[in-house]
A and B are shown apart, each in its own frame.
Chain A
Amino acid sequence: MSMAAERTGGRRPGRHRAAALALLAVAWLAVLLLAPLAGSQPVSLADVAAGDPVAEAIFWRLRLPRVLLALAAGGALAVAGVAFQTLFRNPLAEPYTLGVATGASLGAVLALRFADPATVAGFAGVAAASFAGALAATALVVGLAVSRRGVETGTLLLAGVAVALSSSALILFVQYLSDATQTFRMVRWMMGGLAVVGYRDVAWAVPWAIGGSAVLLASRWELNQLLTGEELAASRGVDVSRLRLRVLAATSLMVGALVAVTGPIGFVGLIVPHALRRWVGHDHLFLAPAALLAGGAFLTLCDLAARTVAAPAQLPVGVLTALLGGPFFLWLLFAGRR
């Protein structure tokens, strides 16, 4: 009886998950405090507090906004990954599945080629254009997939692939029309990075990350229902079509807003949710906040590595996540198969 009671202790997984979440929160805070101190030029908190002008400038002006943006962007990408994998019931779905990244890239590339370089230098023009591109691509994909019977998953995926391929072709075409300097900037933008950031970028990114995550968290019961299929979910009162539209809109807006300032950063939305599902399980009540914390911490650490491994040169973090992501993802895939 006691063994049965132990095995059947209904609340135990919940406690384990709450502990995991608390651990992630501590790790996240540690990353927030320590990552701005590390780098090619280490800085100590004592120097910053003492008012050392160089230490202050490095900490407050250069590194803290960069870390904050990495926390927001990584968190948003991981949260979006959770949402996409659940919505499409596909472990390979990721935040860019519906063509958000290529749409954003097309917008950025067009701005870099055709906009006045004077305004482009401030990067606001490129960011605005890539945000518009991301939204246009998502709207196109969802618009193509809407039918009389709601939004269908298979059509969404295919429309996403088609729009991404078309955008890629257009990007190549625009690149062909560009000169060497413009092409170089386009390629660098598409590598995804956190190099040029100020608090304006942070102030833009954080509300999107929090807002998108909040929508996901508010839809947690319904998203959990999708784990046993749409038919059962609908029979229990979930409006699956509306849920899909709401979550897709929120996550695509969030990812589009972040990609606009960071460029596309791959694999965070794939690796982090996979690892988390194994650790904290599939309940979105825990999974959504865990993804926000773990994704942010993961991207910040990647960025820390990217700006130190080749110091004083700074690797774009998108290159590093792609380098890490491919093999790690394969490992997860095949470890899970066994």
Chain B
Amino acid sequence: MSGEPFVACRSLGWETRGRRIVGPVDLAVDAGECVAVVGPNGAGKTTLLRLVTGLLAPTAGELRLHGRPYAGLSRRELARAIAYVPQIRPARVPLTVEEVVLLGRHPHLGRLQLAPRPADYAAVGEALARVGIEALRGRPVDELSGGERQSVYIAAALAQEAPLLVLDEPTTHLDPRHQAEVASLLARIARSGHRTVLAATHDLAFAAVVAERVVALADGRVAADGPPSEILRPELLGELFGARFELAGGGARPVPVLRIEGGP
């Protein structure tokens, strides 16, 4: 088992109405890695994540989890290995923080089980503590700020106790403080060694500082793949996004910043 990557895509492709959205993609994510997927809108980032989580069935190629093809795995088995934090969620959720996080326990509940077990509550408590939102436990999620809500869904994914965490734009639409908080939370989770993280993001600071590996996606294919210092270069990003960048911050992990023409 140890020789196999956690998730492997082999000439993976997905198309709809004759239009190819993703592929062919060959990509392997090893256990413990923290991978950021970057690329312009429409590059297929979300589709790639939904393929990896098993929400979409590929129209070409295949996916393997520890060397076992997805086709041979039940949804429940996949859910125990991979937790997903989607970008788009219902606007109104009539639940408290604890109830939302408890929903993450679904792959561990039995059909005949009447109520969640103490182990489920323990996992919920641990997830809330790791995310640092124990104080919000009894609050309705609809009353929380966008950043807090994002933390709640990350906690739910942690309570799922799946080794691979897949996140779609975890820091988008958050103000700078919450961006920093969610990013450093994900950095802690990634460095803890218990989780593999795969996140699609437009947040290049997140990709530069938190990720250990950056996959650049263009037109549904992998355009570049390597450590942040290699991928997040102004030339490469300029070509990828069709915009101009410069590096800021210096040091071991400089952050690419968008250059805007027409300023003073």
Contact = CB atoms under 8 A, between A and B. Distances in A.
A235 B79 contact: yes
B83 A235 contact: yes
A147 to B, nearest CB: 13
Interface in B223-242: none
A229 B90 contact: yes
Contact of A235 (B86, B99, B115): B86
B84 A232 contact: yes
B222 to A, nearest CB: 23
A236 B104 contact: yes
Interface in B84-143: 84, 86, 88-90, 93-96, 98-100, 103-104, 106-107, 109, 111, 114-115, 121, 124-125, 134-135, 137-138
B151 interface: no
Nearest to A14: B115
A224 B115 CA distance: 12
B interface, over-half SS: mixed
A228 interface: yes
A interface, over-half SS: helix
A224 B86 contact: no
B136 to A, nearest CB: 10
Interface residues of A, number: 28
A225 B156 CA distance: 12
Given A234-B55, A236-B104, A236-B107, A10 B125 contact: yes
A239 interface: yes
A235 B103 contact: no
A234 B54 CA distance: 9
Interface string A20-63: 00000000000000000000000000000000000000000000
A227 to B, nearest CB: 6
A86 B53 CA distance: 24
A227 B93 contact: yes
Nearest to A286: B115
A316 B137 CA distance: 48
Given A7-B137, A227-B93, A232-B86, A238 B115 contact: no
Interface of B: 53-55, 74-76, 78-79, 82-84, 86, 88-90, 93-96, 98-100, 103-104, 106-107, 109, 111, 114-115, 121, 124-125, 134-135, 137-138, 153, 156, 160
16 contacts: A7-B137, A8-B134, A8-B138, A10-B98, A10-B121, A10-B125, A11-B121, A13-B99, A227-B95, A228-B100, A228-B153, A232-B86, A232-B103, A235-B54, A282-B99, A285-B115
6 residue pairs, one from A and one from B, having the closest CB atoms? A237-B79, A235-B84, A237-B75, A236-B106, A237-B76, A229-B90
Given A231-B84, A235-B84, 8 more contacts: A4-B134, A89-B90, A221-B109, A235-B55, A237-B107, A282-B95, A283-B99, A285-B114
Interface of A: 4, 7-8, 10-11, 13-14, 89, 218, 221, 224-225, 227-229, 231-232, 234-239, 277, 281-283, 285
